[in-house]
C-alpha cells in the first residue's frame, strides 16, 4: 500500500473538519473555514500550501496554539498564515478581508530568522489545541475572537473533539518527544493537564503568544524572537536543556 505524504494526511484531516458540526451555547459559535461560501477557495489554498511544504513523509515537531482567530486561520484554514502571505505561496486571493498582521508578522520574522519557510516547515507542523475557531457575539451584535478556555462550559463541550483531533494529528509523523505551545498561560496549563493524562508528548515547551508580544511588549520583540529561535533550534536536542526548568 502506497504511503501517504504528510500533505495528503493534513488535507484529509481538513476535509474531516469540513464535516464537523459542533453546537455551542449562546453567545458562542464555531467558526469553520472549511464550511460556507469561501470553503472551496480555502481548500484550494490549503492544497497549494501543504503540497508546497509538506509533500513528504518526514518527521516534524508540533507547534500548537489555542484556537484560530477569525481574521487569521479562521479565514485561511492554514494555521498562523494570513491572507497576504498565503497569496505569495499560492497565488490565490481571498478578497475583502482584513488581516491580523501583528501576530502573523512576528511569526514570519521568526521563520525568516530560522532560515525561511522551506526550512521551517520541513521541521515543524503548526496547528491549534482546538483546530476550529470560536466566536462570541457581544450585546451589540459584534463578533469577538474567543479561545476554547475562555468559558468552562465551552471547554468541557470541546474536550472530546480536542482530544480526537490531537490524536489524529499525531499520525502525521509527529515527533512526540517535544512540543511547543504558543501561549504560556491558560493554553499551556490545559495542554499540560491533558498531556499528563494522555501522554501525547514527552515534553511541552511554552512560548509567549505573538499577540501578547506585539500588543504589550513590542519594544522587546527582538528578545522574544531570540527566545523562539533558541527553543526551536534546541528541538534537535529533544529539549534536554528544559527538563529541569
pLDDT digits 0-9 by tens, 104-131? 688 889 999 999 999 999 999 999 999 9
Q: Does residue 242 lie in a domain region?
A: no
E strand segments, 71-173: 124-128, 133-137, 143-146
Check: CB of residue 201 under 8 Å from CB of residue 64. Answer: no
Q: Does residue 1 lie in a domain region?
A: no
- Give the position of cell 451589540: 140
Q: Does residue 141 lie in a domain region?
A: yes
Q: What are phi and psi of 223, to 5 degrees?
A: -65, -40
Please give the mean pLDDT across all residues of the chain. 88
Cis bond leading into 216, ω under 30°? Answer: no
* Nearest C-alpha neighbor of 33 from the set 2, 94, 92, 77: 77
What's the grid cell of residue 142? 459584534
Q: Does residue 229 lie in a domain region?
A: yes
Enumerate the β-bridge partners of residue 126.
63
Residue 160: which domain range? 6-234
* Nearest C-alpha neighbor of 103 from the set 111, 95, 91, 115: 111
Q: Does residue 85 lie in a domain region?
A: yes
Domains in the chain, number: 1
Torsion of CA 139, 141, 146, 149, to 10 degrees: 40
Distance CA 104, CA 108 (A): 6
Distance CA 120, CA 143 (A): 33
E strand segments, 32-150: 60-65, 124-128, 133-137, 143-146
Q: Does residue 245 lie in a domain region?
A: no
Across 37-41, 59-63, 171-175, 225-229, least confident range: 37-41
List CB contacts of 166: < 8 A, sequence separation 6 or more. Answer: 129, 194, 200
Q: Does residue 241 lie in a domain region?
A: no
- Give the position of cell 491549534: 128
Task: Count CB-CB contacts under 10 A for residue 221.
Answer: 15
Domain at 73, CATH number: 3.40.470.10
Instruction: Quick: pLDDT tens for 30-82.
Output: 999 999 888 998 899 899 999 999 999 999 999 999 998 876 777 788 888 77
How confident is the model at residue 213, as a pLDDT? 86
DSSP 4: P
Q: Does residue 124 lie in a domain region?
A: yes
State the pTM of this model.
0.90
Distance CA 32, CA 20 (A): 9
How confident is the model at residue 243, as a pLDDT? 46
How confident is the model at residue 244, as a pLDDT? 40
Amino acid at each position: 500500500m502506497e504511503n501517504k505524504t504528510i500533505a495528503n494526511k493534513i488535507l484529509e484531516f481538513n476535509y474531516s473538519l469540513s464535516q464537523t458540526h459542533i453546537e455551542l451555547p449562546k453567545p458562542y459559535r464555531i467558526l469553520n473555514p472549511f464550511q460556507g461560501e469561501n470553503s472551496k477557495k480555502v481548500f484550494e489554498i490549503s492544497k497549494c500550501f501543504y503540497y508546497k511544504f509538506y509533500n513528504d513523509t518526514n518527521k516534524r515537531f508540533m507547534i500548537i496554539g489555542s484556537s484560530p482567530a477569525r481574521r487569521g486561520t479562521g479565514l485561511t484554514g492554514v494555521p498562523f498564515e494570513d491572507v497576504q502571505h498565503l497569496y505569495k505561496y499560492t497565488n490565490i486571493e481571498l478578497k475583502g478581508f482584513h488581516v491580523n498582521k501583528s501576530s502573523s508578522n512576528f511569526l514570519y520574522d521568526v521563520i525568516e530568522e530560522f532560515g525561511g519557510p522551506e526550512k521551517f516547515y520541513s521541521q515543524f507542523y503548526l496547528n491549534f489545541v482546538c483546530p476550529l475557531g470560536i466566536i462570541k457575539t457581544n450585546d451589540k451584535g459584534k463578533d469577538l475572537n474567543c479561545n476554547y478556555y475562555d468559558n468552562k462550559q465551552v471547554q468541557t463541550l470541546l474536550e472530546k473533539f480536542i482530544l480526537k483531533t490531537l490524536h489524529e494529528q499525531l499520525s502525521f509523523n509527529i515527533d512526540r518527544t517535544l512540543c511547543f505551545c504558543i501561549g504560556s498561560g491558560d493554553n499551556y496549563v490545559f495542554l499540560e493537564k491533558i498531556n499528563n493524562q494522555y501522554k501525547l508528548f514527552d515534553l511541552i515547551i511554552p512560548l509567549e503568544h505573538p499577540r501578547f508580544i506585539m500588543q504589550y511588549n513590542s519594544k522587546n520583540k527582538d528578545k522574544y524572537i531570540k527566545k523562539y529561535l533558541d527553543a526551536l533550534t534546541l528541538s534537535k536536542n529533544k529539549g534536554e536543556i528544559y527538563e529541569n526548568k
